[in-house]
Amino acid sequence: MAARTMATTAAHKRTLMAQRSDARLAELIATRILPNYTSTTLLDIGCGDGVVSRHLPSQCEYTGLDISDACIYEQRHDNPKVRYVQADQIPDLMRSEGPWDTVLLLDVIEHTRRFTPLFELALTRANQQVVVSLPNELFVLDRLRMLRGHELNAHSLDLLNQPEGFKHQFIVNIAKARTLLSKKAEDAGFALKEEVLRPLVSKRSFHQPILWGMRQLSSDQLWSMGSVFVFQRQG
């Protein structure tokens, strides 16, 4: 099922891509969003096990980079298109290789200490577009979790001794992130082309009318699990 158009404004198009909680976001982006944008070369920062590479056209040259000790999926050292390196090596590799038609930062920059520098570097290394996904941590289930006295897993003190890359450095407000990233993109000659919001698809069918009603009556800050932003080079 392709992403569904929600609205189009002079600024950018907004679409919906419904997602089950057990679905892999990177796989959905690879199959539903990337086919709308032409790429012959693609850099995937924070690639995990390289799942995106399995869904690209054969003519697209894929490069995946992730942190060697912070990949949450099983590392695929048998995949020659994927490399696991130290965190401080990634910017150097981005500068020394490429450029690429498309650069992906899927659920990556919220793990970095200053949020925007990796995105700003990606803008200088992308010929056509930079695709960024971010979680919405004002999502209703996260709010309910905290109201019940539970912490957000990605911000837990249980992660204190984990390598950088596991812990979220910020509680992401999508509206603020959109404004901040759009300004950085504009400064680099890019513009926000599309934002894909991610309403939850419940595993229980009787929950769906409730979720549908929530989308009609409340802000996407409440019902969307996050956003995927496509920034496209202008001119």
Provide the CATH number for the domain around residue 108.
3.40.50.150
How many whole angstroms separate alpha carbon 138 and alpha carbon 221?
A: 6
User: Tokens at residue 125, please?
Assistant: 């290394």
Q: For the chain, give the mean pLDDT.
A: 86
How many whole angstroms separate alpha carbon 215 and alpha carbon 201?
A: 12
Answer yes or no: is pLDDT of 205 > 80: no
Cβ atoms of residues 15 and 4 within 8 Å: yes
Residue 226's pLDDT is what?
A: 93
Q: Which residues pair with 105 in a beta bridge?
A: 45, 132
Residue 122's pLDDT is what?
A: 98
Select from 107, 124, 114 the least CA-distant residue to 226: 107
Which pLDDT band, with edges at 50, 70 and 90, does 227 fall under?
Answer: very high
Cβ atoms of residues 49 and 41 within 8 Å: no
Residue 123's pLDDT is what?
A: 98
Residues spanned by the domain of 49 = 4-233
Which pLDDT band, with edges at 50, 70 and 90, does 234 fall under?
Answer: very high
28/166: higher pLDDT:
28
211/145: higher pLDDT:
145
Residue identified by tokens 């910020």 is 170
Among 128-137, 167-176, 195-204, the range scoring the smallest mean pLDDT is 195-204
How many whole angstroms separate alpha carbon 44 and alpha carbon 150?
A: 33
pLDDT tens for 48-73 read: 889 999 999 999 999 999 988 765 55
The number of folded domains in the chain is: 1
Answer yes or no: is pLDDT of 7 > 60: no
Which pLDDT band, with edges at 50, 70 and 90, does 2 fall under?
Answer: very low
Give the burial class of 158: count Cβ atoms within 10 A of its Cβ; 0-12 exposed, 13-18 middle, 19 or more buried: exposed
Answer yes or no: is pLDDT of 75 > 70: no
Q: Which residues pair with 132 in a beta bridge?
A: 105, 229
Q: Find the mean pLDDT for residues 98-121.
A: 96
Check residue 54 and report its DSSP letter: G
42: enclosing H helix or E strand: strand 41-45
